[in-house]
Chains A and B, each alone.
Chain A
Amino acid sequence: MVTTFHYLLLAAALFTIGVIGVLTRRNIMIILMSIELMMNAVNINLIAFSARLQQVTGQVFAIFVITVAAAEAAVGLGIVIAMFKNKETMNINEIDLMKW
């Protein structure tokens, strides 16, 4: 029998993988992809509880999370392109203009 607990464990695993990706990789594209992984983990949690409680609220909230993910991807990739035009790199360690 699949319980809500199973889904929460799966979401926790995906979220942790996303966090590790953000913290260890230097390629900005992969960092953005890791953020998408984390948002997916959150959506799994929301929908698992939506199914558990038989309320549709969790699914509506998941739609808003997907909206925010789309907006974040558009702006994030715009920043990547602007950055690549200026610095010709995808390595985040070389983007240190505002670092003192």
Chain B
Amino acid sequence: MLELILFYTFGTIAVVSAILVITRHNVVHSAAFLGATLFAVAGIFLTLQAEFLAGVQVIVYVGGILVLFVFVIMLIAVERSVHERQYNRQRTIALITSAILIVEIAYGLYRGRDSLILPSIVTPPAAAAAVGNSEQVGTALYTSYLLPFEIASILLLVAIVGAVVLAKKRTPAEE
């Protein structure tokens, strides 16, 4: 019962703030509602017994990515963009695309309904329960998935260099 209440609370917060993110005119408000969505999704992770991921979600998304968004919003003019036209003239095509997407997902869920309507959390074996969630994720990350982990670090390095190159001032020698 508690599970159900938590799921619906976090789910409602996530969906409502997500809708507010894409409908607000002021970018700062959108960023604030994005923060609410991210916190609610972290709560959803907690109900799924993924404590480590919930922590990572709050630290990396809210503490990192969202702060980055707010910094960039601070750097560029907000006041002027509020008075611009907010929506482009693609409403029809957007509606058609999302209708197709919803039908596609609904069809997939309908076909797989027998395997999906099962408790979301099966009771873990006693041995797995003795080891914490972070420990399990860490073990998997540093044994089976070591190579993807290293590739991810290279990806982050490339992203850092790319962001610096894109955002830096051009020197006279380059022009």
Contacts and interface: CB of A to CB of B under 8 A. Distances in A.
Interface of A: 1-10, 12-21, 23-27, 29-30, 32-34, 36-37, 40, 43-44, 47-48, 50-52, 54, 56-57, 59-60, 62-64, 66-75, 77-82, 84, 88-93
A24 B48 CA distance: 33
24 contacts: A1-B4, A6-B7, A12-B109, A17-B21, A18-B22, A23-B90, A33-B22, A33-B30, A36-B61, A48-B48, A51-B49, A52-B120, A56-B140, A59-B50, A59-B133, A59-B137, A60-B144, A64-B148, A66-B61, A70-B65, A81-B75, A81-B76, A82-B167, A88-B77
A29 B84 contact: no
A74 B48 CA distance: 29
Given A12-B106, A59-B137, 11 more contacts: A7-B7, A17-B15, A25-B87, A26-B87, A27-B86, A48-B120, A56-B137, A63-B56, A66-B56, A78-B166, A89-B81
Interface string B101-134: 1100110010001001111111011001000010
Interface of B: 3-4, 7, 11, 14-15, 18-19, 21-22, 27, 30-31, 34, 37-38, 41, 44-45, 47-50, 52-53, 56-57, 60-61, 64-65, 68-69, 72-73, 75-77, 81, 84-88, 90-91, 93-94, 97-98, 101-102, 105-106, 109, 113, 116-122, 124-125, 128, 133, 136-137, 139-141, 144-145, 148, 152, 155-156, 158-160, 162-167
